[in-house]
Amino acid sequence: MTDQTTPKDRVVIFDTTLRDGEQSPGATMTHAEKLEIAELLDDMGVDIIEAGFPIASEGDFRAVSEIAQRSKQAVICGLARAQLPDIDRCWEAVKHAERPRIHTFIGTSPLHRAIPNLTQDEMAERIEQTVTHARNLCDNVQWSPMDATRTEWDYLRRVVEIAIKAGATTINIPDTVGYTAPRESADLIRRLIAEVPGADEVIFATHCHNDLGMATANALAAVEGGARQIECTINGLGERAGNTALEEVVMALRTRNDIMPYETRIDTRKIMHISRRVATVSGFPVQFNKAIVGKNAFAHESGIHQDGMLKNAETFEIMRPEDVGLSATSLVMGKHSGRAALRAKLKELGVDVGDNQLKDIFVRFKELADRKKEVYDEDILALVTATTEGSDRLQLVNLSVTCGTGGPAEAALEMEIDGREASATCQGDGPVDATFKAVRALHPNEAKLQLYQVHAVTEGTDAQATVSVRLEESGMIATGQSADTDTVVASARAYINALNRLLVRRDKTGKDTKEISYKDVS
């Protein structure tokens, strides 16, 4: 079903993690990661996947084309500025999909019109020409007036009408700078639907940024006003403070269906897994107190809360953890669990893995179960993350570290680099510093460490640590992540993982997405 046939009580979910989300500084994903996330989104029931910005780089073009070829149920959409070559390039990429869509946009507020120096009439003409062109190529066209919430009402109404007449099938109203508030968001959509001729022939969409922390509230208010497409990203990833979070709007609609009676197609049990994968591949860990997907979202610390939970979980939980893929399961995992139990557990957690990946996860699981009394769901999800890696030109073979109060820490490291073994011993200011120095001794590089972050996956001193490392080299950014009960080993793996990603990126040619200007419309 495409959005053109959306029943009035259904909201279609448009996920832009791979486009707007990937625009977060430092969130660039590899080609393989983009394919993986697209497949997870499609399997979860996302209606439309905005897979990238095909004119931005060869890499984006290739990713959108391949995602289009592999798509199952989802509409595959690409972004294009209001320029004919952008739209042609976008069509070349999305046309492989069973259900393609072109999304073209232009900044319509006074601030944005001033950049290409177009008058209102000139911009209106450009909109007419570009939407018509897109519609001649594809019968599913989305048009967005960027910075709509700061565009003069009369002009916004005029250009929306032009876009509809030129053939747009979805009109997206972006709050590009996260400026609007819920009542205004609802009123804007309601007024456009009431006053623009032809508005009842198209779907209105809402695209909210989170600069004032109101993105989810504004998106839901827009639905109250008549929008039937919500644009969002996993974990709310996106420029600056991010976008509306998919998991928040979907769970809000599901939990408060009594006052917001709209359905989505999302299989919510897949939310936790995809959230963790996006956190890993983007290098943006999820904050602990983030709604739905944060580590503490279902944790209860106070005695009164714990007591209430034991008597009736509904006392302090408005949804069940298993609704979002954190199963309160009967399957307790430990060192006696076999491969079949692991596969069943992964299935419960909404994770589908192939035989080879299961083999790798099983090896890591057994190692962990030997070291750790209880293996929690979170541990298993962390293992999945740690065994889903891309390039492996650099590999950790062995690491032993001496540290303590007696003197500088010393790390003895063995690595395999392009198939050859090498070793080095370095001293440093603590075990992690010594280890990173040893990696640099074996693989000299100029990459600057932008972020080093450690999170405990579960409680207790035997908990696994998830380590994130972000590196920057000549404007290229790469992040690596790993998990282990040994924080130093996890740190070494995360660092090596980030270096592997930099190597992949170095080999890539073409302009990076972030270099292209959205404002460059002339």
List contacts with Zn ion (CB under 5 A).
Answer: 20
Residue 409, interface with ligand KIV (CB under 6 A)? Answer: no
Task: Verify binding: residue 227, ligand KIV, rule CB under 6 A.
Answer: no
Closest contact distance (angstroms) between CB of 146 and Zn ion is 8
**262 interacts with, out of ligand KIV, Zn ion, none, CB within 5 to 8 A per kind:** none
Sign of the CA dihedral with 394 first, then 395, 400, and 405 last: positive
Query: For ligand KIV, which is the closer residue by CB, 227 or 502?
Result: 227
144's contact among ligand KIV, Zn ion, none, with CB below 5 to 8 A by partner kind, is ligand KIV
Nearer to Zn ion, 20 or 86 (CB): 20
CA distances from 261 to 6, 186, 258 (A): 14, 16, 6
- Does residue 174 interact with ligand KIV by CB under 6 A? yes
Question: Least distance from C-beta 284 to Zn ion, angstroms?
Answer: 16
Question: What amino acid is encoded at 120 in this protein?
Answer: Q
Q: Are strands 409-417 and 420-428 parallel, antiparallel or unpaired?
A: antiparallel
Residue 354 CA, chain-centre distance (Å), reads 22
Query: 170, 176, 268, 482: which one contacts ligand KIV (CB under 6 A)?
Result: 176
- Note whether 161 binds ligand KIV by CB under 6 A: no
Structure token digits, residue 390: 């891309």
* 146 near ligand KIV (CB under 6 A): yes
**Burial of residue 169 (number of CB atoms within 10 Å: 0-12, 13-18, 19+):** buried
User: Which of residues 181 and 369 has its CB atom nearest to ligand KIV in the complex?
Assistant: 181
CB of 514 closer than 8 Å to CB of 26:
no
Cα(174)–Cα(209) distance, rounded to whole angstroms? 8
Residue placing its CB nearer to ligand KIV in the complex, 353 or 521: 521
Euclidean distance between CA atoms 325 and 406, whole angstroms: 46
Q: Which of residues 68-107 bind ligand KIV (CB under 6 A)?
A: 105
Helices 355-371 and 339-348 sit at what angle, rounded to 10 degrees? 100
3 forms part of the interface with ligand KIV (CB under 6 A): no
| Residue of this chain nearest to Zn ion (CB atom) | 20
The distance of closest approach from Cβ of residue 250 to Zn ion in the complex, given in angstroms and rounded to an integer, is 19
The SS3 call for residue 451 is strand
Per CB under 6 A, 207 contacts ligand KIV: yes
> Of 185, 148, 143, 149, which Cα lies nearest the Cα of 164?
143
Query: Toward ligand KIV, which CB reaches closer, 171 or 503?
Result: 171
Check residue 435 for interaction with ligand KIV (CB under 6 A): no
Closer residue to ligand KIV (CB): 105 or 495:
105
x/- letters, 105..124, toward ligand KIV (CB under 6 A): x-------------------
Shorter beta-carbon distance to ligand KIV: residue 209 or 372: 209
- Ranges within 5-34 binding ligand KIV (CB under 6 A): 20
Q: How far is the CB of 518 from ligand KIV (least distance, A)?
A: 7
Minimal distance, residue 142 CB to ligand KIV, in Å: 9
Burial degree of 391 (CB within 10 A; 0-12, 13-18, 19+) = middle
Are the CB atoms for 54 and 85 separated by under 8 Å? no
Q: Cα separations (Å) of 243 from 40, 164, 342?
A: 19, 26, 35
Distance CA 170, CA 205 (A): 7
How far apart CA 47 and CA 380 sit, in angstroms, is 29
Cα Rg of the chain, angstroms: 24
Q: For ligand KIV, which is the closer residue by CB, 179 or 452?
A: 179
User: Is 180 among the residues that bind ligand KIV (CB under 6 A)?
Assistant: no
Pick between residue 208 and residue 471 the one whose CB is nearest to ligand KIV: 208
Q: By CB under 6 A, tell whether 276 contacts ligand KIV.
A: no
Give contact residues for ligand KIV (rule: CB under 6 A): 20, 105, 144, 146, 174, 176, 207, 209
